[in-house]
Structure 1
Amino acid sequence: MKLIILDRDGVINVDSAQFIKSPDEWKPIPGSLEAISRLAEAGYRVVVATNQSGVGRGLFDMDTLNAINEKMIKAAAAVGGRIDAIFFCPHPADSTCNCRKPKPGMFEQIAERFNIDLKGLPTVGDSMRDLVAGASMGCTPYLVLTGKGAKTALDPDLPVGTKVFPDLAAVANHLLGSSPHKA
């Protein structure tokens, strides 16, 4: 099984220091939905793993998070993409849970749900915690320079083997061995 694990905010959609708190605030990064479509067409199972501490902080509720995710799923489907599963941690940053990245809990859940060893599978994030969580489970970390990625790229402690790309579309091009589609 080919599987790719994507962070949401800063990888698929534009991030915000004030959190994405409503479907109206969710805006895709140009090319990200098309990248998901191309990955799905190539046989990848596309899984999202995202920290959503805004739920635990009371900034939005589960119904709102579900509505945001539904908008993302429908937007991907509108361009031929498919998101196979969304895993999220609703706990605030000071939580002792095991599911909040950089801890590996969400990745353990993904491995269990899909009955797959994550070793070598690509995981794409824009922050150190995304990369560390995936690398701790043997994933190959891909850093995108969208969202917080440009700042993260300056960190001298990136996990060994981290691959750096401008955005999710460039990651898809790399994984699929193709160049960007010219209009």
Structure 2
Amino acid sequence: MKLLILDRDGVINQDSDAYIKTLEEWLPLPGALEAIARLSKAGWTVAVATNQSGLARGYYDLATLEAMHASLRERVAALGGEVGLIVHCPHGPDEGCDCRKPKPGLLVRIAAHYGVPLAGVWYVGDRLGDLQAALAVGCQPVLVRTGKGARTLESPLPATTLVFDDLAAVAARLIG
């Protein structure tokens, strides 16, 4: 199985310091949905692991989050692709869960769902916490410059981090 794991906000869709609270605010980044569809059509399973502390903060409810993910799936399907498992952490930063990145719980759930080891699997994110979660389970950390990625580049990155402009560039590298 060729598995690729993506963060959501800042990688697939626009991010906001005020949180993505409505379906109308969920706006795909240019080329991101096409990149997912291309990967899917090339035999990749594309899963998503995303922190969604806006749930714990009361900014939106689970139905709204599920509508965003349904829209993601529908839009990628319209391009001939498929989105695999989507897992989210609903907790706030101080709740002490094992799923909020940089902890690797979401990635572990994806590995268990697909019954595959995570060693070497690319995890694409735009924040240091994404890269740290990847390292914790042996994934290849991949940073995109979209979302908070450009700001993340200003800090020291794990030595093995690969850096790309955006998700389309990641897809081009993986598909060839």
**TM-score (ref. length: structure 2):** 0.98
Give the Cα separation in 1 of the matches to 2:154 and 2:38: 29
State the match for 1:140 in structure 2.
140
State the match for 2:67 in structure 1.
67
- How much does 1:72 deviate? 1.1
Indicate yes or no: 2:21 matched with 1:21.
yes
State the match for 2:101 in structure 1.
101
Indicate yes or no: 2:137 matched with 1:153.
no
- How much does 1:38 deviate? 0.9
> Structure 2: 5+ residue runs without aligned partners?
none
Give the Cα separation in 2 of the matches to 1:164 and 1:40: 21
- How much does 1:160 deviate? 2.4
Identity %: 54
Query: Where does structure 1 differ by over 2 angstroms across 4 or more consecutive aligned residues?
Result: none
Q: How many residues are aligned here?
A: 176
- How much does 1:81 deviate? 1.9
Indicate yes or no: 2:80 matched with 1:80.
yes
RMSD: 0.7
- How much does 1:60 deviate? 0.6
State the match for 2:32 in structure 1.
32
Give the AA of the match of 1:114.
Y
State the match for 1:180 in structure 2.
none
Give the AA of the match of 2:122.
P
Could you give the per-residue CA deviations for residues 133-157 of structure 1, whole angstroms, max 9, x where no partner exists? 011111111100000000101111x
SS of corresponding position for 1:56: coil
**TM-score (ref. length: structure 1):** 0.94
Give the AA of the match of 1:127.
R
- How much does 1:129 deviate? 0.6
SS of corresponding position for 2:160: coil
- How much does 1:101 deviate? 0.3
Give the Cα separation in 2 of the matches to 1:38 and 1:159: 28
Give the Cα separation in 2 of the matches to 1:128 and 1:141: 10
Give the Cα separation in 2 of the matches to 1:53 and 1:151: 21
> Structure 1: 5+ residue runs without aligned partners?
178-183
Give the Cα separation in 1 of the matches to 2:174 and 2:120: 12
State the match for 2:119 in structure 1.
119
State the match for 2:170 in structure 1.
171
Give the AA of the match of 1:130.
D
Give the AA of the match of 1:100.
R
Give the AA of the match of 2:33.
L
Give the AA of the match of 1:42.
A
SS of corresponding position for 2:49: strand
